[in-house]
A and B are shown apart, each in its own frame.
Chain A
Amino acid sequence: MVLMKMKFPFQKRVKLAQGLWLLSWCATVAGAITFTLGCILKTELRRRGEVMDNTDIHIVPNTLMIVGLASLGINYFAGKIGQDALDAGKFPRWKSLLKPYFAISSFFTVLMLLAVIMSYAMKGSLESSLKVGLRNGIRFYKDTDTPGRCFQKQNIDRLQMEFQCCGNNDFRDWFEVQWISNRYLDFSTKEVKDRIKSNVDGRYLVDGVPFSCCNPSSPRPCIQYHLMNNSAHYNYDYQTEELNIFIRGCREALVNYYMGLMNTIGAGVLSVFLLQASVLVSLRFLQTAMEALAGNENTEIETEGYLLEKGLKETIMEYLDPVLRFLLLKNQVQEGEGPDNTVNI
């Protein structure tokens, strides 16, 4: 049961070879673009690496880079094979290489599709990584004298100003954390002592936010402290005031930014995938059409080309068979050496 049989007269074969050559060059450029997109994504993820807890999300740009590099090689060979296909003298030298070539190229093409799916599927992982990372960043904001954490304040301030966000979920996260270091608190004053005593853990909590939460678009000078106290400021109502500080949380801002970036990249990679798949399909048709010509004196007769000789399932089994046999053989040998050690005929 042959998959997708098609008739190929001589002219159609020639056109197919020419089209394949052109497509393979386009696909090579597309592969380079995929590699570049992977590099861009990786750079962007690393820039904000300090507010991410783990690097699980890096699998997406890494896969894209690997696939991009592999497709450069795949398409180069596709072009060369397509060029040699119409020449009956040169084509036979590729015969032995074609089966592993198709296996490897199908694998990398499927990997490309997987990368796109992963970029959508890993949104949850990215979000939880950012949640933990931002929480730690806010907690260690005051520790500018602790080695290893002394740049957290700078990073969080720059992040909040650049992404126009405040806190983890929103600005209230700053109320739950002591973000003013004890070095700058006068423990002899009554106010400080009262505040610390009123807190269970002995932390100095204020209903204020750092200056980086301030919104430059606000018509009035920024109100940072006593945010929940309407009487502390003239003509101020914290429930209706939206322009004073950034109301969006940084986790949401970062997730939106990265998902937007990955969506754009995913759309590009999807079109590269379609291009790559069409290159492989055309090459397969050309190969089978030329093989049907083998031994024939007249090179201009009409031949049949197909995608798969047997059905899909059978072809997969055929490819996996040597792999499985290799693994099973190892197991059999190990079983044989087990309990029957003494049998030695």
Chain B
Amino acid sequence: MAVLPVKFTKTKRDKLAQVLWILNWISVVTGAILFSLGLFLKVEINKRKELMAERDIQYVPNMLIAVGLIACGINFLGGKICYDCVDTTKFMRWKLIMLPYIVCTFFFTSCILVGALMCYSMRGELEESLDMGLAVAMRFYKDTDTPGRCFLKRTVDLLQIEFHCCGNNGHRDWLKIQWISNRYLDMTSKEVADRLRSNVEGKYLMDSVPFSCCNVNSPRPCIQSQISNNSAHYNYDHVTEHLNLWTRGCRQALLDHYTYIMQSIGLTVLVIWVFELSVLTGVRYLQTSDGWLLENGFMETARTNLNIIKNLGKCNQIDTANNGDPNINVPCTSKAMYGPDNVPPKQLPVAS
């Protein structure tokens, strides 16, 4: 009982070979697209590397890059095979390789699917990484004199300006940390000394945010300091005022940005996967002489292959049934695969 049998005449086979040749070349192009998508994602992640904590998210773009390169190679080989399939003399030299090629391509196609699914699953790790990275960046915002951290202020300011966001979850994150360096605080003044004393850890906390949190669309000049104090500003109510500062948190903004990129890439990779699968099916039909996907049903093929694998070991083991004598000939009961036609060599008659 063959799986999905289709009758193939000679002309139909030739046409199939030609179509598959073109499709394989298109697949090379899609492989290159996969590669460039992986590269693009890698560049995007590295651009905001300073705002991400150490997490294993590089595996997704690396996987896409590797899969893209391998796709180019496999489909190039597939194109050559299909091109030679039309000519029966040239087809002979590919006969032996075709079955392993199809098996390899099948496993490789599942790698593409895994790559696509990984794009969607990366979100959780990315969120964690951004959360920790942004918290650290905000903590070191004031350390513009410490080597290694001196550009964090600029990075965070430019991030908030570009992505229209403020703080990690919201602008209140800035009220909980000291973002003004001690270098610019007059320790002799009473006000500063009072504030420092009133805080348990001796941090100078203020009711204000950096200038990069200011919303450009606000009709009034930006209110940065004493934002929770209604009486400090004329005609101002901090509860109802939502145009003054950016309300969105930067973690959410960055996450949305990356989710959009990864969803688009994931969708493209899924489409490429379906395409590769169809090309693989065509090549399988081309390989089999009558035109089927599997000679027997799925269960039988699986059972047969399992037996082959089990008996592979048996050839090497000494059979204890023959009283441990290794010289007695144990016939190999394993069904070796004798090429794509599966015809075992003729047994030579033993001269007696």
Interface residues of chain A, those whose CB is within 8 Å of chain B, are 144-145, 150, 153-154, 157-158, 161, 179-181, 183-186, 210-212, 214, 216-217, 219-222, 224, 233-235
Which label, helix, strand, loop or mixed, suits the secondary structure of the B interface? loop
Could you say which residues of chain B place their CB within 8 Å of the CB of A144?
A: 219-220
For B151, the closest partner residue in chain A by CB is: A217
The CA of A180 and the CA of B183, in the complex, are separated in Å by 31
The CA of A185 and the CA of B180, in the complex, are separated in Å by 28
Name the contact of B221 in the complex, choosing from A150, A154, A184, A220 (C-beta under 8 A).
Answer: A184
A250 → chain B, closest Cβ, in Å?
15
Residue pair B214, A211 in contact (C-beta under 8 Å): yes
Check if B235 is an interface residue, CB within 8 A of chain A: yes
B242 → chain A, closest Cβ, in Å?
16
Could you say which residues of chain A place their CB within 8 Å of the CB of B189?
A: 234
Residue pair A219, B145 in contact (C-beta under 8 Å): yes
Residue pair A180, B161 in contact (C-beta under 8 Å): no
Could you say which residues of chain B place their CB within 8 Å of the CB of A181?
A: 219-220
Residue pair A222, B210 in contact (C-beta under 8 Å): yes
For B155, the closest partner residue in chain A by CB is: A216
Name the contact of B222 in the complex, choosing from A150, A161, A211, A219 (C-beta under 8 A).
Answer: A211
A186 → chain B, closest Cβ, in Å?
4
The CA of A234 and the CA of B183, in the complex, are separated in Å by 9
Give 17 CB contacts A-B under 8 Å.
Answer: A157-B216, A183-B220, A184-B220, A184-B235, A186-B234, A210-B221, A212-B216, A214-B212, A216-B157, A216-B212, A219-B144, A219-B153, A220-B181, A221-B180, A221-B210, A222-B211, A235-B186
Q: Which residues B195-220 have CB closer than 8 A to chain A?
A: 210-212, 214, 216-217, 219-220
With A212-B216, A214-B211 already in contact, the answer to whether A184 and B234 are too (CB < 8 A) is yes
Could you say which residues of chain A place their CB within 8 Å of the CB of B153?
A: 216, 219
Check if B107 is an interface residue, CB within 8 A of chain A: no
Q: Which residues B122-144 have CB closer than 8 A to chain A?
A: 144
Residue pair A211, B220 in contact (C-beta under 8 Å): no
Could you say which residues of chain B place their CB within 8 Å of the CB of A185?
A: 234
With A216-B153, A217-B154, A234-B186 already in contact, the answer to whether A154 and B234 are too (CB < 8 A) is no
Among A144, A216, A224, A235, the one with the most B-chain Cβ atoms within 10 Å of its Cβ is: A216
Residue pair B185, A145 in contact (C-beta under 8 Å): no
The CA of A222 and the CA of B153, in the complex, are separated in Å by 11
How many chain B residues touch A (CB < 8 A): the figure is 30
Residue pair A216, B158 in contact (C-beta under 8 Å): yes
The CA of A185 and the CA of B186, in the complex, are separated in Å by 30
Residue pair B184, A220 in contact (C-beta under 8 Å): yes
18 more contacts with CB within 8 A, not counting A186-B234, A219-B150, A220-B181, are: A144-B220, A154-B216, A179-B221, A180-B221, A181-B220, A183-B220, A183-B235, A184-B220, A184-B221, A184-B234, A185-B234, A211-B221, A212-B214, A212-B216, A216-B212, A219-B153, A220-B184, A234-B185
B189 → chain A, closest Cβ, in Å?
8
Residue pair B217, A154 in contact (C-beta under 8 Å): yes
Check if B224 is an interface residue, CB within 8 A of chain A: yes
Name the contact of B224 in the complex, choosing from A145, A179, A186, A211 (C-beta under 8 A).
Answer: A211
The CA of A153 and the CA of B222, in the complex, are separated in Å by 11
Residue pair B161, A161 in contact (C-beta under 8 Å): yes
Residue pair B222, A210 in contact (C-beta under 8 Å): yes
Name the contact of B184 in the complex, choosing from A158, A216, A221 (C-beta under 8 A).
Answer: A221
Could you say which residues of chain A place their CB within 8 Å of the CB of B157?
A: 216
For B186, the closest partner residue in chain A by CB is: A234
Q: Which residues B149-185 have CB closer than 8 A to chain A?
A: 150, 153-154, 157-158, 161, 179-181, 183-185
**Top 7 closest pairs, chain A to chain B, by CB:** A216-B157, A219-B144, A186-B234, A144-B219, A234-B186, A222-B211, A214-B211
The CA of A112 and the CA of B124, in the complex, are separated in Å by 57
Could you say which residues of chain B place their CB within 8 Å of the CB of A235?
A: 183-184, 186
Could you say which residues of chain A place their CB within 8 Å of the CB of B222?
A: 210-211
For A209, the closest partner residue in chain B by CB is: B221
The CA of A145 and the CA of B219, in the complex, are separated in Å by 8
The CA of A260 and the CA of B233, in the complex, are separated in Å by 44
For A181, the closest partner residue in chain B by CB is: B220
The CA of A217 and the CA of B212, in the complex, are separated in Å by 12
Could you say which residues of chain A place their CB within 8 Å of the CB of B144?
A: 219-220
For B179, the closest partner residue in chain A by CB is: A221
A218 → chain B, closest Cβ, in Å?
8
Could you say which residues of chain B place their CB within 8 Å of the CB of A153?
A: 219
B14 → chain A, closest Cβ, in Å?
39
Residue pair A216, B216 in contact (C-beta under 8 Å): no
